[in-house]
Amino acid sequence: MAGYRKLGRTSSQRKALLRNQVTNLLYRGKIRTTESKAKEVRSIAEKLITIAKKEANNFDTVEVTAKTPRKDASGKRVKEVVDGKKVTVYDEVKKTIRKDQPSRLAARRKILAYLYPVTEKPANGRKARSNTKAVDMAALMFDTIAPKYADRNGGYTRIIKLGARKGDGAEEVIIELV
C-alpha cells in the first residue's frame, strides 16, 4: 500500500498538479478541487506553512548604501557630459534591508523549490504582458501567512464538502486557509 494517493497520474504529472494546486491555495487562500486531491494538497501546504512559521522572524536588519540613478521630473535619467561622454548621475541612498539567517535562507529555498513562480496581472486586463509583476511567494509566506498562524499548532487548512460533481460524480470540496 502506498503512502500517498496516486490520483490516476504518472509521478511527474502528479507532482506538477500538486505543486500547482498548493501554489494557488497559498496565493489565493482558497481553491475548488476533488476530495482526494485536497487531502494531498493539505498535507503539503501545512508542511510549507510550518517551515515558514518556524523561520518567520529569523533575519537581521542591515543598513546599506546603494547607488540609484538621479531622475528628472519626467522620470528619465539625468546625464552629464564627462570627457566628451554622456554619463548617468548617481545618488547614494541609505536603505534598510533584511538579511536572512542561514536557516531562513534554507527555508526560503525549500519553499521556492516547491512552489511555482506567480505573476500578478493588472486588474483591468489592459496590457497584461507589460504590466505583470512577479510575486515573491517566499516573502508572502514569511510576511503574511506565517504571522497569521503564529499561535496555532497545525490545522492551517479547512476542507468543506460540496457534493458530487455533475459530470463524473467525483466528490468536490473547497480547501481554504483557516
- Look up the CATH number of the domain holding residue 139: 3.90.1030.10
- Whether 112 and 25 share a structural domain: yes
The reported pLDDT for the residue numbered 19 is: 97
The reported pLDDT for the residue numbered 3 is: 84
- Whether 93 and 120 share a structural domain: no
- Whether 81 and 46 share a structural domain: no
- Whether 20 and 85 share a structural domain: no
Q: Which pLDDT tens digit goes with each residue over 7-19? A: 999 999 999 999 9
Give the structural domain span for 169.
11-57+101-177
- Whether 109 and 120 share a structural domain: yes
- Whether 77 and 108 share a structural domain: no
- Whether 21 and 109 share a structural domain: yes
- Whether 74 and 149 share a structural domain: no
Q: Which pLDDT tens digit goes with each residue over 26-53? A: 999 999 999 999 999 999 999 999 999 9
- Domain assignment present for residue 72? The answer is yes
- Whether 95 and 109 share a structural domain: no
Cα–Cα distance list, 64 to 34, 67, 78 (Å): 49, 10, 23
The helix (run of H) or strand (run of E) holding residue 160 is: strand 157-164
* Residue ranges, the chain, pLDDT below 70: 1, 125-129
Count of structural domains within the chain: 2
- On whether the pTM is more than 0.75, the answer is yes
Q: Which of 111, 107, 136 is nearest to 45 (CA)?
A: 111
Contacts of 51 (CB under 8 A, 6+ apart): 107, 110, 111
Radius of gyration of the chain from its Cα atoms, rounded to whole angstroms: 22
The reported pLDDT for the residue numbered 163 is: 95
Strand runs (DSSP E) across 11-156, as ranges? Answer: 30-34, 59-69, 79-82, 85-88, 90-100, 118-120, 133-135
The reported pLDDT for the residue numbered 14 is: 96
The reported pLDDT for the residue numbered 121 is: 80
- Domain assignment present for residue 125? The answer is yes
Q: How many CA atoms lie within 13 A of 42 on its CB side?
A: 22
The reported pLDDT for the residue numbered 126 is: 67
